[in-house]
Amino acid sequence: MQFHKVLLHICNMLKKLQQKWKVTKLDLLLILITFAVGGSLCGFAGRKIMSFTGIEKGFVWLVVYIIIVTIIWPVCVLLVSIFTGQFSFFKKYLTKVARRFSGKKATETTKQQPLPAAQTNGSIENHAPGSLEPVCNIAIFASGAGSNTLGLIEHFKNNPSVNIALIVCNKPRAGVLAIASNAGIDILLIEKDRFFNGDGYVRSLKNHHINLVVLAGFLWKVPVTLLQHFPGSVVNIHPALLPKYGGKGMYGTRVHEAVIENKETESGISIHFVDEIYDHGVAIFQAFCKVEKDDTPQSLAAKVHQLEHLHYPRVVEELVNAKNTLNKQGVPQY
């Protein structure tokens, strides 16, 4: 019975760590392995260094040893994290530790979050400091390299009325995570079971006062739970001219292959609101490009990517401005 209680306590502790660090179970395991191996490497290296000092074991030896281990521990952990694939996590973790020791209270979360919102039902009610202009907090959902995410970040980085508050991703190795980390934006790694069968991470989004959800190459279907909490405030971009070449399984190269196989003369992008059906929501904007006879799926993808990068940030900004205008007029936003 006592062993059962200890095991339950350890499981609860690990669950809290996973929630605190916002990582998957696999990444949590790799992080703990990195701590253990890094600590062992640090202890071994510390003893080796002490063997060259000529100091006899005693109080002075212990003090010097502690100082050396404290200095080299970050290096050892970062070195091990390269091999466990957790370098980005430990870089951020050690940066936060350094801030605490230096007396700086600003953290990544407080830097990114604006003033608390009165509601988070899709209306834009936060305000930029020293301004009456409302702030829209955006969560970007992405699964891949993150080129559209980067475009959105760059587009809004000097806009005081728009804050990219959170990057949500379902793949621990996705390139978009490095983009988010470099931009100092909070990351939320999500798991399938909770996303589809739990709360859809609505609580996490509300904790960041999200007003608008923008999908940028996100491959999972958005669950009804999330759509109900952000009605009319979830937007997607599709690499084809909907309603053609949409639906389950139609993403990336598959779309361009189908367009070429059916000898279409044009393709493009569709920006639309998201509903319960794949690629079905109300269209907001479409842009077109020609499909030449010698086009390949790769060359067509390049044309479509150009349209995405050109139009998606602009259309999202127009959507934010429209919601702001209606909000000022007292029209409820859903």
DSSP output for 249-291: T--THHHHHHHHHTT-SEEEEEEEE--SSTT-SPEEEEEEEE-
Q: Where in the chain is the domain with CATH 3.40.50.170?
A: 118-328
**More confident position, 67 or 5:** 67
Residues 219, 206, 227: CA angle, nearest 5 degrees: 45
pLDDT, the chain, mean: 83
CA distances to 4, 51, 100, 154, 258 from 324, in Å: 54, 67, 38, 21, 39
Question: How much is the pLDDT for 293?
Answer: 92
> Which residue type sits at 324?
N
141 Cβ contact list (under 8 Å, min separation 6): 168, 169, 213, 214, 215, 216, 218, 222
Among 194-208, 299-313, 318-332, name the one with the lowest average pLDDT.
318-332
Asked if 253 and 297 touch (Cβ cutoff 8 Å), the reply is: yes
Question: How much is the pLDDT for 242?
Answer: 92
Question: How much is the pLDDT for 114?
Answer: 35
**What gap in Å lies between CA 287 and CA 181, rounded to an integer?**
31
Question: How much is the pLDDT for 113?
Answer: 33
Question: How much is the pLDDT for 111?
Answer: 34
> Which residue type sits at 150?
L
280 is catalytic: no
pLDDT in tens, 125-176: 454 544 445 688 999 999 999 999 999 999 998 888 899 999 999 999 999 9
**What gap in Å lies between CA 93 and CA 28, rounded to an integer?**
13
Averaged pLDDT, 79-100: 82
Residues 319, 329, 117: CA angle, nearest 5 degrees: 70
Q: Does the structure show a pLDDT above 50 at 265? A: yes
CATH number of 118-328: 3.40.50.170
Asked if 291 and 260 touch (Cβ cutoff 8 Å), the reply is: yes
Question: How much is the pLDDT for 255?
Answer: 94
Question: How much is the pLDDT for 105?
Answer: 40
Averaged pLDDT, 307-312: 94
CA nearest neighbour of 148 among 319, 16, 286, 309: 309
Q: Does the structure show a pLDDT above 90 at 218? A: yes
pLDDT class of 2 with cuts at 50, 70, 90? low
Question: How much is the pLDDT for 112?
Answer: 32
Query: Which candidate in 208, 209, 229, 238 is catalytic?
Result: 238
